[in-house]
Amino acid sequence: MAAPLVEDFNPGFDWDSLVADLRQGKCIPFIGAGATEGILPPGAELARELAAEAHRYFRDPTNLAAVTQELAAHYRDGVRPKTRAAQRLAKRLLAHAQDGAALPKLMTLLARQARLEVYLTTNYDDLIERSLGQAGRAARSEICRWNRLLKSEDSVFDTGYRPTAADPVVFHLHGRFGYEAVPGGDPIVTGEQSMVLTENDYLDFLVNVAWDVAGASPVAGPAVLPKAIVTQMTRKTLLFIGYGLEDINFRVIMRALVNSLELANQRLNVAVQLARSSANERAALAAYLEWTLKVKVFWGNADDFYQQLSARL
């Protein structure tokens, strides 16, 4: 018996509204780690690699935030675990580029939507920027200034820049790193201090974004979230791609941003569920999310979502 089509899991999904929003530029893709599957390791795999190289006991060697928090405490250095994580990711990115392998299909599809102005992500890598470049759409790359040190970072938003379809931006809410190959050695990475990675980082991010949105930040300087980004979020559909509903990134973002901003004109939110559940679990969880987070759920992984969306665009 043939496996059921993905569509069978999503009979009430509002494809017409989503496709119209994408074509008209009334949508902001919000891209998570699941969209890089096959190129970069999942968080649990990266956590195990970092734990293995440290040769010490960890409470949960599959929890990336917990592993990096323990490493930061062990080394008495909050940046060192970020450097090692960034180097491991950079090796994968460099190998992917050297092999000439294709960029993620879903990112490529979204990059070709020529009216989109903003791409949000909690990923640390440059795969979205590369996808946009491949589509002939050079994009700005900016980070969220979520802590005191990052407040002094220059940003194009400070000069009055506003994203447009002709001049889009990739905004990394959890920071990003740059990288350069070193023959026979670990890659050189830069900017890893901006990464939201440890347990403390997630707490700081959540608190600082909440303060910023409330206009009560105790730290002087530019906003954590540029006004141009906040304005776009309040007016457009947010399309969450590559997140699991249990994903700490998804939960933090939904709580810190979506709920705090109280998006007034929100018509559709999509979370791409990375693993299918039973019919009863799907119904119960979808009802819960509709009530608490105003999220409509597509049941399937990022590739399932790509297959359905690409057939309609």
Looking at per-residue confidence, does 135 or 221 come out higher?
Answer: 135
Structure confidence by residue, pLDDT tens digits, 191-200: 999 999 999 9
Q: What is the mean pLDDT of residues 179-185?
A: 94
- Specify the pLDDT at position 251: 73
Structure confidence by residue, pLDDT tens digits, 15-34: 888 899 999 999 999 999 98
Structure confidence by residue, pLDDT tens digits, 71-113: 999 999 999 999 999 999 999 999 999 988 899 999 999 999 9
Structure confidence by residue, pLDDT tens digits, 206-231: 888 878 766 666 666 778 889 899 88
Three-class HEC string of the chain: CCCCCHHHHCCCCCHHHHHHHHHHCCEEEEECHHHHECCECCHHHHHHHHHHHHCCCCCCCCCHHHHHHHHHHHHCCCCHHHHHHHHHHHHHHHHHHHHCCCCCHHHHHHHCCCCCCEEEECCCCCHHHHHHHHCCCCCEEEECCCCCHHHHCCCHHHHCCCCCCCCCEEEECCCCCEEECCCCCCCEEECHHHCCCCHHHHHHHHHHHHHHHHCCCCCCCCCCCCHHHHHHHHHCEEEEECCCCCCHHHHHHHHHHHHHHCCCCCCCEEEEECCCCCHHHHHHHHHHHHHHCCCEEEECCHHHHHHHHHCCC
- Specify the pLDDT at position 65: 96
pTM equals 0.90
Given a cut of 90, whether residue 134 has pLDDT beyond it is: yes
